[in-house]
């Protein structure tokens, strides 16, 4: 029994110390060009206001995302004061959603920036606590979550319209032959 408890404690310590990997330059490029087509914005936890006066932080931005934060994914950002590190976690096992990117933003005294984390496929549907951190020593003010929505049809960009048009013409020709 003691051995099982010790193993559980060691596993918990190992998971809480795990930090998401930074996105590679290629992944960062894809993030900015494919957002909205192959993956969507889920929600963002913010501790500072937008220009919208109806948004009162700290809160989830929910109305702009396809999911509501604090339900199937979450962060401890709201419980921290001027955090340089925060924790994120999610559980999409029953929903079909998958996490793809986690983006943090920091801002203070005129300094700000963004750090993009890439979520490894093996933990895209469920994970324990993972660390994200501001590399500049400036507090994190928002954490945004992005991923794959099972209700959206993903059309690969690698299929040129000419190939699709050719497939349509071929299908029409086959259909026409079946009528004769």
The CA distance from 33 to 154, in Å, is 14
Q: Are 117 and 22 in contact (CB under 8 A)?
A: yes
Q: How confident is the model at residue 7 (pLDDT cuts 50, 70, 90)?
A: very low
pLDDT of amino acid 17: 44
22-38 tens-digit pLDDT: 888 888 888 888 877 77
55-106 tens-digit pLDDT: 778 888 876 566 778 888 999 999 998 899 999 999 998 888 899 999 999 8
Range of the domain at 33: 2-179
**pTM, two decimal places:** 0.71
Helix (H, G, I), strand (E, B) or coil at 158: coil
Q: What is the mean pLDDT of residues 98-122?
A: 88
Q: How many domains, in total, are found in the chain?
A: 1
Type and span of the H or E element at 41: strand 40-46
The CA distance from 122 to 163, in Å, is 33
Q: Are 65 and 83 in contact (CB under 8 A)?
A: no
Type and span of the H or E element at 103: strand 98-108
Cα 112 vs. chain centroid, distance in angstroms?
Answer: 20
For residue 149, give every residue at least 6 positions away whose Cβ sits within 8 Å of its Cβ, in sequence order, or none: 39, 40, 66, 97
pLDDT at 11 over 70: no
The CA distance from 117 to 129, in Å, is 14
For residue 55, give every residue at least 6 positions away whose Cβ sits within 8 Å of its Cβ, in sequence order, or none: 46, 49, 61
């Amino acid at each position: 029994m003691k051995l099982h408890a010790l193993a559980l404690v060691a596993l918990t310590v190992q998971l809480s110390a795990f930090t998401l990997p930074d996105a590679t330059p290629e992944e960062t490029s894809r993030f900015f060009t494919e957002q909205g087509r192959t993956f969507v914005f889920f929600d963002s936890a913010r501790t500072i206001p937008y220009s919208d006066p109806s948004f009162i932080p700290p809160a989830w931005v929910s109305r702009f995302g396809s999911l509501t934060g604090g339900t199937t994914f979450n962060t401890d950002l709201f419980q921290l004061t001027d955090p340089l590190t925060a924790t994120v976690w999610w559980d999409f096992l029953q929903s079909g959603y998958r996490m793809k990117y986690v983006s943090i933003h920091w801002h203070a005294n005129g300094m700000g920036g963004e750090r993009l984390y890439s979520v490894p496929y093996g933990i895209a549907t469920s994970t324990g606590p993972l660390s994200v951190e501001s590399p500049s020593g400036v507090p994190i003010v928002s954490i945004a979550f992005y991923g794959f929505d099972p209700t959206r049809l993903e059309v690969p960009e690698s299929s040129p319209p000419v190939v699709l048009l050719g497939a349509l013409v071929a299908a029409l020709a086959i259909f026409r032959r079946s009528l004769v």
